[in-house]
Amino acid sequence: MVTWLVNLTWLCLVTNCRSDNTDIRTMDRRLLLNDPNTLLNHIEALQQEMTALKSQVTTLNTEVTTLNTEVTTLKTFKTEVTMQRTEIEALQNKLKTINHGTGSVYTVWGKKSCPAVNGTTTLYTGITGGNAYDNHGGGVNTLCLPHNPDNAPHDFHVRQGSSSYIYGSEYQFNYRKFAQDDDVPCAVCHVNTATSLIMIPAKSTCPAGWTMQYHGFLVSDANVSGFLLFDYVCLHNDAEYLTEGSRQHDQNGHILYPVQAGCGSLPCPPYKNDQYITCVVCTL
């Protein structure tokens, strides 16, 4: 005990220690390092830290393995998606080949282009025409004449006095964008996604499952004695006029009037006398 005190006194003299708490704590730590129990406690603490680190390493290794598995799975999915895309493109190309040359064709009357309906393209645009309203011979159907007609063969020049003529069409009433005597445009449309087409009179909607191309009103020739009978055509609900800037020139020709219902053999109700008849063009 005396020896320990002498050594302590000598240590203070050599290190010029002070009596503050910091030096005493530092000195106590140095002294405690020589204590076997302290060393054992430190060793046990280090062993616990090592065990914890090993556990963390094991956990990290497990997570890395899981991530590698997920990466492999994602790569597999990516390969499968690429293969499926290739198969889909091949099927689409095959479908295009199968559908080539199929579909339905119709004419939209009163418009300069075809409706923006999925699968519908414009084959050509033109001028609505037909026989003159007061002729009693020739055709009765309304035609869509293209803007760029081709000439007949040069040797086809025999003139016949009774040849029929074809004339442009004019509106004989006013509605929205056009006025009476304006010329009537038309467009011939192809629907490559449809195999059936129908114009339904007196309706503005299509049957369930059918796609509406457009709707409007029935038009034909006037109900006047001596006038030629025309066919019924479905005029677009938002019809346009053809000769912009040169309106109301009143050349007549193939003229179009709206169609109304006449009660009698046509039951009223459900129809009404003088009711204007609607129409709709549908595809399937």
Query: What does the pLDDT look like over 157-175, one tens digit per residue?
Result: 766 677 888 999 999 999 9
Please choose, from the candidates 244, 236, 231, 245, the residue with its C-alpha nearest in 3D space to the C-alpha of residue 217. Answer: 236
CA separation (Å) from 148 to 124, 144, 239? Answer: 10, 12, 22
Show the tokens assigned to 162: 């009774």
**Dihedral over alpha carbons 250, 254, 255, 259 (to 10 degrees):** -170
Sign of CA dihedral 108, 181, 130, 168: negative
Residue 9 is predicted with a pLDDT of 44
Q: Is the pLDDT of residue 2 over 90?
A: no
pLDDT of residue 100 exceeding 70, the answer is: no
- pLDDT value of residue 226: 59
Picking from 3-7, 133-137, 215-219, which range would have the lowest pLDDT averaged per residue? 3-7
List residues bridging with 188 in a β-sheet: 107, 124
Chain center to CA of 153: 46
Is residue 24's pLDDT more than 60?
no
**pLDDT band at residue 188 using 50, 70 and 90 as cut-offs:** very high
243 vs 254: which has the higher pLDDT: 254
What average pLDDT does the segment 219-232 reach? Answer: 78
53 alpha-carbon distance from chain centroid: 57
Instruction: Assess whether pLDDT exceeds 80 at residue 23.
Output: no
Q: What pLDDT, on a 0 to 100 scale, did the predictor assign at position 126?
A: 96
Structure tokens at 152: 């007949």
Q: Which structure tokens are listed for 194?
A: 């449809």
pLDDT at position 276: 97
Given a contact cutoff of 8 angstroms between Cβ atoms, the answer to whether 170 and 245 are in contact is no
Top-confidence residue, 1 or 204: 204
What pLDDT shows up at residue 221? 85
pLDDT band at 183 (very low <50, low <70, confident <90, very high): very high
Q: Give the residue-averaged pLDDT of 10-20.
A: 45
Kindly give, in sequence order, each residue whose CB lies less than 8 Å from that of residue 142, ignoring residues fewer than 6 positions away.
109, 128, 129, 130, 169, 230, 231, 233, 254
- As a whole number of angstroms, the distance between CA 171 and CA 190 comes to 26
Strand partners, 106: 189
For CA atoms 230, 232, 234, 239, the dihedral sign is positive
Percent over 70 (pLDDT), the chain: 81
Checking if the pLDDT of 244 tops 80, the result is no
| Average pLDDT along the chain | 83
Show the tokens assigned to 78. Answer: 């990516």
Any long-range contacts for 201-206 (C-beta under 8 Å, 24+ apart)?
A: 201/232, 201/234, 201/277, 201/278, 201/279, 202/271, 202/277, 202/278, 202/279, 203/278, 203/279, 203/280, 204/278, 204/279, 204/280, 205/280, 206/280, 206/282
* 9/79: higher pLDDT: 79
pLDDT at 260 over 50: yes
* % the chain with pLDDT above 90: 48
- C-alpha dihedral sign at 259, 264, 267, 269: positive
Q: How are beta strands 185-191 and 211-220 bridged, if at all?
A: unpaired
Q: What is the pLDDT of residue 149?
A: 94
Query: Cα separation of 224 and 226, whole Å?
Result: 6
Average pLDDT over residues 101-117: 92
Q: Between the ranges 45-49, 193-197, 198-202, 218-222, where is the mean pLDDT highest? A: 198-202
